[in-house]
Amino acid sequence: MKILVTGGAGFIGSNFIKYILSHYPHYEIVNLDKLTYAGNLDNLSDIEDNQNYQFIKGDICDQKLVERIVEDKIDVIVNFAAETHVDRSIYDPKIFVETNVLGTQILLESALKFKTDIFIQISTDEVYGSLGKVGAFTESSPLLPNSPYSASKASADLLVRSYFKTFGLSAIITRCTNNYGPYQFPEKLIPLFITNALFSQELPIYGDGLYIRDWLYVEDHCKALDSVLHKGKIGEIYNISGSYEKTNLEITDLILKKLNQPKSLIKHVKDRPAHDRRYALDSSKIRNELGWKPDASFEEGIAKTVDWYIANQKWWQKIKTGEYLEYYQKHYVLREKM
Ligand code: NAD
Ligand code: DAU
């Protein structure tokens, strides 16, 4: 099987490539990635010489390039490529529409033209919007995105659905909850707080910190995608979740305890506009129909993740310089103005 992974130099994509090459060593992987600020070839240094792996630097919005790649006997496209940070989508929505919507349409068009066997769209629980204290979204819950990021992901989902309905494209959509684990860019809550806490820097909690996310260890997401790739039904949507719901303050406490750092590092800062209060997914469909379940408990996953960031300081210290620090300076100025 020859798989085109887009966005494979990012957090989940790089974990997925390594998962597939270790479980299916005879599969071929082509990784198409633009190497934005979030793309990092260091994530893949241990497999870069694998005969069945090829990296191509490029943009999913580049139709000619995408067609040239897909024409070369691609069986499956797994589309991870995206702009992924909610805060950045508030400051600069345009690139989110370009990559997440237009880029997905270009991939869909190539999949159709060259008759790929499966197109898997990696979507997110954020497309359903925010939940109150109880309940969980199912695959048939309405799409009510609240940020430019989630609106662009929901738009892409609707395009994928339309290519299935109108043109009969063999497509599947997966919607996963918040991931965490090795190689996550340190702008997202867990890696930002671990790497800040390691150097006794402040942990900026948005608002009251009682926002809830449903967390999944990244390897369990990769396993779920393995089930979808091999057993998923064309035209379906699969929610993926571990059902480990935590408030941001609970997570922060766990990180501080594990690193033996004081709670005084917590700083409550101005809230994110339209901040979704709670995410939770009902993932009984993938569990019952495809036999998937997560292996790592949240406590195991977070312990492994903290240990990974302690052991891999070179990886994230290389990131937390120049462009990264400039973004943070702008981020705090822009946030105060909102
Ligand atoms: P990430 O930001 O770590 O990586 C995104 C990757 O896409 C980067 O390597 C980047 O260079 C690449 N990319 C961006 N624009 C591109 C373009 N135009 N052409 C080619 N490559 C491009 O993201 P992630 O957290 O690994 O998320 C991967 C996917 O999973 C995204 O589609 C995201 O919406 C989805 N998702 C993420 C989470 C999460 O918690 N991180 C949860 C559910 C779904
Ligand atoms: O739910 C899946 C989504 O999870 C993915 O689709 C997105 O790509 C991914 O970025 C993530 O979105 P969130 O907005 O939930 O993740 P983030 O890590 O940015 O924030 C998690 C929670 O922590 C959220 O309630 C905001 C809060 N937060 C975040 C940061 C970065 C803080 O309180 N302080 C912070 O500095």
List the residue whose alpha carbon is closest to atom 24 of ligand 2.
211
How many residues are given for the chain? 338
- If you average pLDDT over residues 320-325, what whole number do you get? 89
List the residue whose alpha carbon is closest to atom 3 of ligand 2.
178
List the residue whose alpha carbon is closest to atom 23 of ligand 2.
189
60 in contact with ligand 1, CB cutoff 6 A: yes
Of residues 159 and 332, more confidently modeled: 159
pLDDT tier for residue 230 given thresholds of 50, 70 and 90: very high
Q: Is residue 336 part of a domain?
A: no
128 is catalytic: no
List the residue whose alpha carbon is closest to atom 42 of ligand 1.
178
Q: Is residue 337 part of a domain?
A: no
Q: Is residue 245 part of a domain?
A: yes
245 is catalytic: no
Strand order in the sheet with 212-217: 178-180, 212-217, 244-247
Q: Is residue 126 part of a domain?
A: yes
What are the pLDDT digits (tens) for 156-206?
999 999 999 999 999 999 999 999 999 999 999 999 999 999 999 999 999
156 in contact with ligand 1, CB cutoff 6 A: no
Place of tokens 């005879």: 26
CATH number at residue 253: 3.40.50.720
- For 263-327, the DSSP string reads GGGEEEEPPPTT---B--B--HHHHHHH-----S-HHHHHHHHHHHHHHTHHHHHHHSSHHHHHH
Q: Is residue 338 part of a domain?
A: no
Domain count for the chain, please give it.
Answer: 1
Of 126, 187, 214, 219, the catalytic one is 126
Q: Which of 37, 56, 60, 84 gets mutated to test ligand 1 (max ligand atoms within 8 A of its CB)?
A: 84
Q: Is residue 168 part of a domain?
A: yes
The answer to whether 63 and 106 are in contact (CB under 8 A) is yes
- If you average pLDDT over residues 96-120, what whole number do you get? 98
Ligand positioned closest to the Cα atom of 107: 1
Domain of 137? 2-331
Tokens of 214: 């449903």
149 is catalytic: yes
Q: Is residue 131 part of a domain?
A: yes
Q: Is residue 249 part of a domain?
A: yes
